[in-house]
Amino acid sequence: MPRDVRPEASVPWPPDPALGTRGRKVQTDHIGDRLRRQATRVFVGRASELARLQEVLAPVGPCVVLLHGLSGIGKTSLLRQFAGSARDRGATVIELDGRQIEPTEQGFLRELGTAIGTQCNAVQNAARRLAEFDASVVIAVAHSRSFA
C-alpha cells in the first residue's frame, strides 16, 4: 500500500506498526538479544583472554579449552562473550549448563544429544552428528565445576 505524509502532522499515513506513538521505531527484538547486548556493554578487562579463546576458532580441528578459576571472577561472562563472538564469526554455538548435567560421560552425552537433536549413546555418535554442521562448532559448558 502506498504511503503518504499527512501535512498537518508530518506523520506517515497509514501508520507503520513498527513505529511507536511518537514516530520512533519500536524495539522488536527478543529479551535474550537485549540481555546479550547489555552484557556486551558492561564487559571490560578481558580482551586478552577473549582473544586467546577466539584463536580456537581457527580451522585446525577439534580443540578443548577449560576455563577455571575462583568463583565470581567472571568465567561465565567471558564464556558468554566468547560464544557471542563465535556466533558473529559464523560458528554454531551449543550452550549447556553444567549444573543440569549428570557429571558422567553418559550424562554429558545425553544433554549434548538433546541440544543437537539426536541420541548420543557414545562419543562417536556425537562426533558424527557434530561433523554434519556446516560451520565450526563451539560447545560452551558454563558452571562445569563437576567436570574439571
Q: Identify whether 67 is part of a domain.
A: yes
The answer to whether residues 13 and 57 belong to one domain is no
| Polymer length in residues for the chain | 148
* The total number of structural domains that make up the chain: 2
Q: Identify whether 36 is part of a domain.
A: no
Q: Identify whether 76 is part of a domain.
A: yes
Q: Which of 28, 143, 136, 141 is nearest to 88 (CA)?
A: 136
The answer to whether residues 21 and 90 belong to one domain is no
The answer to whether residues 86 and 110 belong to one domain is yes
Domain that holds residue 18: 1-30
Q: Annotate 129-143 with b (16+ C-beta within 10 A) or e (fewer).
A: bbeeeeebbbbbbbe
Q: What is the pLDDT along the chain (148 residues), one digit of tens a residue?
A: 444 444 444 444 555 555 555 555 555 667 776 766 665 555 557 788 888 888 877 776 666 677 777 888 888 888 888 888 888 888 888 888 888 899 999 999 999 999 998 888 899 989 988 888 877 888 888 887 666 5
Which pLDDT score is estimated for 27? Answer: 56
Q: Identify whether 38 is part of a domain.
A: no
Q: Identify whether 37 is part of a domain.
A: no
Q: Identify whether 129 is part of a domain.
A: yes
Which pLDDT score is estimated for 108? Answer: 92
The answer to whether residues 73 and 125 belong to one domain is yes
Q: Identify whether 47 is part of a domain.
A: yes
Q: Which of 20, 22, 85, 100 is nearest to 51 (CA)?
A: 85
The answer, as to whether pTM is greater than 0.75, is no
The answer to whether residues 26 and 47 belong to one domain is no
